[in-house]
Amino acid sequence: MNIYKDLQLQAGNAICYSGFREGQQPGGEYPTYEEVKEDLKLLQNHWTYLRLYDCDFHAETVLKVITNEKMNFKILLGAYIGAELNNFGCPWGGIYSQEVLEQNKIQNDIQINKLIALANQYPEIIFALSVGNEACVEWTDHFVPVESVINYVRKVKKEARQPVTFCENYVPWLNKLEPLVAEIDFISIHSYPVWEYKNIHEALHVTQENYHAVASKYPDKPVVITEAGWATNSNGRGIDPHNVSEELQGIYLNDLKGWSEDDNVLIFVFEAFDEPWKGSNDAMEPEKHWGLYYVDRTPKLVMRNEEIFTEI
């Protein structure tokens, strides 16, 4: 059974892509056309679907490269929406002045309009749209109320033709995001067993449980996993260093791919390349080490095994 029939989708190799290299970061220096081209040439024999997080200069470059170089990628394009309310439950921040919150609302409208514009400019490449990422979960530092997300979804659905979703940790879909489900075309969940202190022997089962908990609650709505991955390094902040390695990453992703193929579940692996700009200044910060490739674009163990992620 193709659970994505109405979306004109098939399960296939899918990955989250952010091309920021050493010394680059959102809002600062962006990857060049040639750097993005190099990245996509690395990925094109392994992946059909790419997920992009932001309607920024980087996304524009990616879309230009795919168009100009005639590459066969399909894009899930996201808009980044910033905090519209303070979140006192965020362990690392999430508190802003009223002036900042009001400015964020203005910027969020700009992002949503850009999402619509790019969707209409590249309808053959962009297959789906997300109005945000992890903006409703209890620990987020960019908290946006569900009512705002619903309004953004309605605006995008009115002005663009692609299916619309919202990408979020699996937990809020089980309760607070119920009003959103009726508005979107498919549900997008994130599953990270290693962040929940699970070991590799439990990992696939945990992700399957996360998926089926949401899918069974909303049997008439397709569910996509838009993030699932395994870090390869950690300084111990949130992830036990003994629970991450290239070998463990390979085991989890191999299991994940097998399940994806057997049950026709579309899963976006997190992520293509390590991103040193993320998290703290500690080089072993786990946020920096989720890539299947190092930041210098050399492959980690899972990508040295060419059989795991090769499109047929």
CATH number of the domain that residue 207 is part of: 3.20.20.80
Are 129 and 164 within 8 A, CB to CB?
A: yes
In a domain, 312, yes or no: no
In a domain, 41, yes or no: yes
The single-letter DSSP state of residue 94 is -
Predicted local confidence at residue 76, as pLDDT: 98
What is the value of pTM for the model shown? 0.96
In a domain, 311, yes or no: no
Are 274 and 293 within 8 A, CB to CB?
A: yes
Q: At residue 19, what is the residue type?
A: G
Are 83 and 27 within 8 A, CB to CB?
A: no
As a whole number, the mean pLDDT across the chain is: 95
How far is it, in rounded angstroms, from Cα 29 to Cα 44?
Answer: 25
Concatenate the DSSP letters of all residues of 75-103 into one string: EEEE-----SS--TT-TT-----HHHHHH
In a domain, 161, yes or no: yes
How far is it, in rounded angstroms, from Cα 296 to Cα 290?
Answer: 14
CA angle 200, 44, 268 (to 5 degrees): 35
Predicted local confidence at residue 170, as pLDDT: 98
Are 303 and 292 within 8 A, CB to CB?
A: yes
In a domain, 168, yes or no: yes
Predicted local confidence at residue 135, as pLDDT: 98
Please name every residue paired with 126 in a beta bridge, in sequence order, or none if there are none: 75
In the chain, count H helices and then E strands. 9, 8
Answer with the residue of higher pLDDT: 307 or 52: 52
Across residues 136-149, what is the average pLDDT? 97
Find the domain containing 265 and state its range. Answer: 5-304
Count of domains forming the chain = 1
